Structure 1
Amino acid sequence: MKKDRLLAKWLSNDLTKEELAEFERSPDFEKYQKIKNYTAHLEVDDLDENDMLSNILSQKKAAPKVFPLYKKWMFRAAAIFVLVLGITLVMKFIVPETQTANYGEKTTFSLPDNSEVVLNSGSEIHYKKWNWDNNRHLELKGEAYFRVAKGRRFEVHTNLGKVSVLGTQFNVKVRKNRFDVVCYEGRVKVNYANTQMLLTHGQSVSFENGKQVKRNIIAMQPEWMDNQICFYKENISSLLDEVQRQYNITIELNAKDTTSLFTGKLPTQDLDVALQIISTTYHLKAKKVSKNKIIFDEK
């Protein structure tokens, strides 16, 4: 420590005569003297403190932006929302749309080209919005009436057959093994198994278990759209199935004679009248055992 103190005083010329003599006798004095002589020739500019501070401030980097935690969550939530929205839009156009009409109901809707569809009770349709104008095709289960906008070929696929049109009005019905097509305007092409035929205004065709029935029609549109069910040589089993769909009820039949065929109309908004017509035609007695269940017994 004493040596360091003497060195400091020697550099600042503060040593006394006694201290100077002692310091010059030290073994390192010659080395210190050479360093002092060398540094004496070095020149250092005067330090301008104000100028130095100004330069430091001008070169100071911008402070990094710090986002509060709640803002980070907001950005993350927004990103998730955009992702979900994109997925939703893709699903909306790629995944098939489904339209249904439950028992006792009818459903009317428009397709992407503004073609109008009316679904009868107990029916459903599947179709894709994506590229609809170039691929107008849908799948039907049950019964539907179509008012097709003009455009590319329009196809209705069912498990029993296919109907193709360009722009027209027609009705397609698929129930169990029965396939019915009625043309109300324009022309429609019907494919059933190995059979293909062209229907024009006022014509219809029916297939059941491989048998074909072709007849002309008079009505301007399907009777069920006017709240009536029209039957042509229908067996009682199919007749009661349709009544159950239209009224959303269950019917139990206790009768031996079920071979008679029914031709006529039944209302879809007056159950009592419909039951009366069926009872009179088949010599039955209708009994309501609950709000939604009817039993037909022989008289």
Structure 2
Amino acid sequence: MEENYKLAKWLSGEMSEDELAAFEAEPDFVIYNKIKKYASELETPNFDENKTLSTILASPKKEIKTVSLAQNWFFRIAAVLVIGLGLFIGYQNFATSTEYAENGVQNSFTLPDNSEVVLNSGSKIEYKKWNWENHRALELNGEAYFKVAKGQKFEVHTSLGKVTVLGTQFNVKQRENRFDVTCYEGKVKVDYGETEIIITKGMSIAFEDGKSITIPENAIQNPEWLNNEMVFYQANLKSIIGEFERRFNVTLELKSNDNSQLFTGTIPSENIDIALQILATTYHLEPTKVSKNKIILKAVNAQK
């Protein structure tokens, strides 16, 4: 009740300087001030004083009712709160929604049309709920698997390219300068620069540094990373280390100059020790754990 009294005094401009300073120091003052600001910007119809006076004089006289100051404050508080609630609901509908998957974890969620999305480690998706049925599009930074509900066109935008589908299942991966798309059901259209390619079930396409990489067809039903496997096709050591860091939430420091070899294969990602051993054997490295989340990869020759 005391809070409502202070709010009413502030709205009516009846606070002393000390009271105003104390009120502005309260944590909720920022919210109150925003509500007041937006409420003051609401437009009202033009007021015709002469017309209103004539109407009043011509109307039958009625018993005059008075409204106490306390009631007046109550109505003003109620009006401000209603306006604030409306602004909050509007913000929730029009603001951009963001989904994250931090390093070491995956994040599954559902879009407004019940399309299912699984974000891989170190990835982010942004989209707007408003008018989703007529504009089903989102921004992806990282890697995600989509199981799209049947309906209108669905678009995935990345910094490297765009994928357009209609009721299908597919995987999109955008990491630095490499862009990979795999279709598991239906068909998808991939736009990369001036190139437009349509791929169907079992097909994959990849681009790196502006060049197309042809990937053999595969009969798998969903991305391997959903089953705790990291799959690479003509991947360089830098990109492999990046996947390790995101998957296991660690930092790998490479101390080797000979890292030009491209790797194609599968590395299990349930156990970091096994995964590191495969990586170390392939690239002739020696992993050394220097802290809980930091590992140094040094060339074997450098150990001698």
The TM-score with structure 1 as length reference comes to 0.76
Alpha-carbon deviation of 1:72? 4.0
- Supply the AA of the counterpart residue of 2:143: E
In the other structure, the counterpart of 1:47 is: none
1:90 aligns with 2:51: no
Alpha-carbon deviation of 1:63? 6.3
- Supply the AA of the counterpart residue of 1:219: I
In the other structure, the counterpart of 2:178 is: 178
Q: How does 1:209-220 map to 2 (within 5 A)?
A: 209-214=209-214, 215-220=216-221
Q: 1:267 to 1:65 in 2, by over 3 A?
A: farther
Q: How does 1:229-248 map to 2 (within 5 A)?
A: 229-248=230-249
In the other structure, the counterpart of 1:207 is: 207
Gaps (5+ residues) in structure 1? 1-60
The TM-score with structure 2 as length reference comes to 0.75
Question: What is the RMSD computed on CA atoms of the aligned residues?
Answer: 1.6
Residue deviations 1:137-179 (CA, integer Å, cap 9, x gap): 1111111110001111101111111110111000000011100
**Between the two proteins, what is the percent identity of the paired residues?**
53
In the other structure, the counterpart of 1:249 is: 250
In the other structure, the counterpart of 2:296 is: 295
Q: 1:67 to 1:269 in 2, by over 3 A?
A: farther
Alpha-carbon deviation of 1:116? 0.7
In the other structure, the counterpart of 2:273 is: 272
In the other structure, the counterpart of 2:75 is: 75
Q: How many residue pairs get matched?
A: 239
Larger Rg: 1
Give the whole-Å Cα distance in 1 for the aligned partners of 2:247 and 2:152: 34
Give the whole-Å Cα distance in 1 for the aligned partners of 2:249 and 2:84: 39
Residue deviations 1:80-117 (CA, integer Å, cap 9, x gap): 22212111121122121111111111111111100011
In the other structure, the counterpart of 2:151 is: 151
- Supply the AA of the counterpart residue of 1:179: F
In the other structure, the counterpart of 1:43 is: none
Alpha-carbon deviation of 1:189? 0.6
Gaps (5+ residues) in structure 2? 1-61
Between 1:197-206 and 1:96-105, the stretch displaced more is 96-105
- Supply the AA of the counterpart residue of 2:82: V
Q: 1:72 to 1:111 in 2, by over 3 A?
A: same
Q: Give SS of 1:132's match.
A: coil
Give the whole-Å Cα distance in 2 for the aligned partners of 1:62 and 1:192: 75
- Supply the AA of the counterpart residue of 2:196: Q
Q: 1:75 to 1:266 in 2, by over 3 A?
A: farther
Give the whole-Å Cα distance in 2 for the aligned partners of 1:193 and 1:66: 68
